[in-house]
Chains A and B, each alone.
Chain A
Amino acid sequence: MREIPLPKRLEILSDAAKYDASCASSGTARRTSRDGKGIGSTTGNGICHAYAPDGRCISLLKILLTNHCIFDCHYCINRKSSNVRRARFTPQEVVDLTLSFYKRNYIEGLFLSSGIVKSSSHTMEQMIEVARSLREDHGFRGYIHLKTIPEADPELVAHAGLWADRISVNIELPTKAGLSRLAPDKDSGRIEGMMGRIHGAIVEAKDARKRFRHAPRFAPAGQSTQMIVGADGASDTDIITRADSLYGAYGMRRVYYSGFSPIPDASAILPLKRPPLVREHRLYQSDWLMRFYGYSASEVQQAAGTDGMLPLDIDPKLAWALKFRQHFPVDVNRAPREMLLRVPGLGTRAVQSILASRRHRTLRLDDIARFTVSIAKLRPFIVAADWRPTLLTDRADLVSLVKPKPSEQLELFA
Chain B
Amino acid sequence: MTAAREADATVSVQMDAPDDFEAWRAHARALMQARVAPERVMWSEPGETGNLLGLLASAPFPAAADAPPPRASRAFLQQARSVICHRDPERFALLYRVLWRLQRQPRLMEDQADANVRRMAAMAKEVRRDIHKMRAFVRFRLVESEDGASEHYVAWFEPDHNIVRANARFFTDRFAAMRWSILTPELSIHWDGAQLLEGPGASARDAPQGDPLEDLWKRYYASIFNPARLKVKAMLKEMPRRYWKNMPETALIGPLIADARNRELAMIAQGEDSFEMEQPDSLDAVASAVSTCTRCPIGCNGTRAVPGEGPADSAVMLVGEQPGDQEELAGRPFVGPAGQVLDRHLKRAGLERDRLYLANAVKHFKFTPRGPRHIHQTPTAGEIDTCRFWLDAERALVKPRLIVALGASAARGILGRTPSIQRERGRAIALADGSELWITVHPSYLLRVPDAIREQEEAAFARDLAAVAARCASLG
Interfacial residues, chain A to chain B (CB-CB below 8 A): 6-7, 10-12, 14-15, 17-19, 32-41, 43, 45, 47-58, 61-63, 81-85, 97, 100-101, 103-106, 259, 261-262, 264-265, 274, 277, 353, 356-357, 359-361, 363, 367, 370-371
Contacts and interface: CB of A to CB of B under 8 A. Distances in A.
Contacts of A37: 177
B176 A32 contact: yes
Interface stretch (B249-257, B309-317, B343-351, B456-464): B249-257
24 contacts: A19-B226, A33-B177, A36-B176, A39-B176, A50-B137, A50-B249, A50-B250, A51-B234, A51-B235, A54-B226, A55-B232, A56-B226, A62-B224, A100-B216, A101-B216, A103-B153, A104-B142, A265-B301, A265-B369, A277-B229, A356-B110, A357-B111, A360-B111, A360-B113
Contact of B139 (A41, A43, A106, A265): A106
A360 B110 contact: yes
Given A97-B216, A105-B139, A370 B113 contact: yes
A14 B228 contact: no
Most chain A beta carbons < 10 A, residue from B137, B217, B220: B220
A47 B167 CA distance: 14
B239 interface: yes
A15 B135 CA distance: 26
B247 A50 contact: yes
Contact of A50 (B221, B231, B303): B221
B140 interface: yes
B113 A357 contact: yes
Contacts of B217: 101, 104, 106
Contacts of B229: 54-55, 259, 261, 277
B170 to A, nearest CB: 7
B376 interface: no
Nearest to A84: B302
A100 B213 contact: yes
Contacts of B110: 356-357, 359-360
B239 A51 contact: yes
B111 A32 contact: no
Interface in B118-164: 118, 132, 135-142, 153, 155
B302 A265 contact: yes
B355 interface: no
Given A18-B223, A357-B110, A10 B297 contact: no
A65 to B, nearest CB: 15
Given A33-B177, A104-B139, A265-B301, A370 B235 contact: no
What does DSSP make chain A's interface, helix, strand, loop or mixed?
loop
B135 to A, nearest CB: 6
Contact of A264 (B112, B138, B302): B302
A10 B220 contact: yes
A283 B220 CA distance: 29
B330 interface: no
Nearest to A45: B132
Contact of A85 (B173, B194, B302): B302
Contact of B230 (A7, A48, A54, A361): A54
B205 to A, nearest CB: 20
Nearest to A141: B174
Interface string B360-372: 0000000001000
B182 to A, nearest CB: 10
Contacts of A363: 113
Contact of B174 (A40, A50, A51): A40
Nearest to A264: B300
Interface string B253-274: 1001100100000000000000
B220 A83 contact: no
Nearest to A41: B174
Contact of A104 (B113, B135, B153): B153
A17 B153 CA distance: 29
A38 B235 contact: no
Given A104-B140, A262-B228, A357-B113, A48 B174 contact: no
